[in-house]
Structure 1
Amino acid sequence: MEAYMIDTKIYTFLKVAQYRNYTKAATELNLTQPAVTQHIKKLEEYYNCRLINIDGKSVKLTKQGKLLYNYAKFQVANEEQLINQIKKVETPIKIGATLSIADYYLPNYLSSYLSNYDELLYVTVKNTESIIKMLLNNELYCAFIEGIFDKSLFKHYEFCNTKFLPVARKGHPLEGQNVTLSDIHKYPLILREKGSGTREIFENYLYQKNDSLLSASKIYEISSFGIMKKMIKNSNAISFMYEEVARQEVERGELCNLSIENYSIQRPLYFIYPNDSLMKAKNELFYKKMMQ
């Protein structure tokens, strides 16, 4: 039986009217014949009139039954039209992305995807902590994130692997030297806000070296990479960011990557969605198409 919202008793009535036979209607609807009889009885009680006359094996609609039949057919047609219209209204894929990924990694992937597939995308850009919360609150279908997250809660794919590098202005006093963390701490440090993936990676690195942000001479918190890079160009401040974030400025000779003793951080960037997501199939298909 069709899965519509119109009362099932109406569908039973329509099938009886169509076949002029209770047994055939019952078979079509996967109901027992007594159930079909009960449906018709309930309708007649509701409308307070006789809808069907049975004379031996003959099943005929009364005048009132014909009125209901025409009305019901009209409502079914309306609902079918509504369902078709609803299906045509495309729901955008709600995607989250952290700032580094959204500005410097995702555009190439999405440009290729949108050139091949006519689908609506809605992209929200926030820090890692905020994106994770939105995923768990079902505000996003999936996300592209950096940083550290609880892998037991999410289906995850590594879509890219990139270097996490110290960045300073071209001509910085530490450029060209093999320096230590102590040397880095002598200069102002520019970091993203708390909750960002890049900050968490750097803090975790310091922790592994028995160090912390408390060692820094001064810390500036900036949520925009554009502002961060401009500040670095015009001062002796140092920051840490993914290779692609400062690639163009390094190639133009405006910024440089510093060399720190025994420093090497290579980080995966992830596509994730909650394990219990109802949008699993749609997320998987989107990721597969995007990575083609």
Structure 2
Amino acid sequence: MRLQALASIALLAGAGSALAQDTVEDWEIIRQPERKTVFAFVPTTTGLTIGFRCVDGSFGAVIGGLPEAPRGSRIRTLQFIDEDGESHSTTWSVTTDRTVALADYPASLARNLREGGEIGIVIPGGGGEGRNLRHNLTLPASSAAVDETLTACNRPTQDPRDALLPEIEESGLPDGVTWARAPRPSYPQTNYAEGFAVVTCVVQPDGALAQCQIESEHPDDGRFGRNALRATTDARIVSPGETVGQYAPRMIGFRVNYRMAN
């Protein structure tokens, strides 16, 4: 797949020791106009690589050099620790290469990491024998390279929706909110046997969903994102602590894992 072709540039190194420290000098960027691809990435001597790429209108964040994900797992959680010591949990999808993963919310991550600085990335269980593996990195500020990938995919370089993402719980809904009618996607017309899509929407006063957008999808040309987006049309949420028609605006997110039945 095209993702694996890009990932093979620098993503397939080992994970290093239980505590990996490295300082990198600059983001690298690869442009492939014939494939409508822009890829900005940072390799480190520990083998961990972080990259953002636009492939024919589909934006994604990729991380490689991870300890291999267990067989059968489709998602994995990584903890990002900022310069103030605050930890943020992020969800990633496991790819065919189980040392590589794709972020559920790549554009927000890109706008955050382009500022550079010291970060820690904790991989639960990645150190073996139940130990966590932590990479301490100093990322360079490289807004030009990262912004180029965002702009190539028509993603904003500043987005107020980023501030609402922490409100989304693991279920995809803010605390106290439930589905009155959950999205019901169907399998799209595609050549792929499986894939995924992550979509966010803003809740309207009556519980309907609006301003929905595809946050991530894989494969890029699998039509899974558009299919999940269409499923939001009739979906609605309910907030028992509020009056219908007066719901406060908030953002919800949901993931659809597609797998063709045998």
* Fold match by TM threshold 0.5: no
Q: Which has the higher helix share?
A: 1
Task: Decide which structure has the larger Cα Rg and report it.
Answer: 1
Give the structure, 1 or 2, with the largest relative contact order (CA under 8 Å, sep 6 or more).
Answer: 1
TM-score bracket, shorter-length normalisation: under 0.3
TM-score after normalising by structure 2: 0.21
Q: Which has the higher strand share?
A: 2
TM-score after normalising by structure 1: 0.20
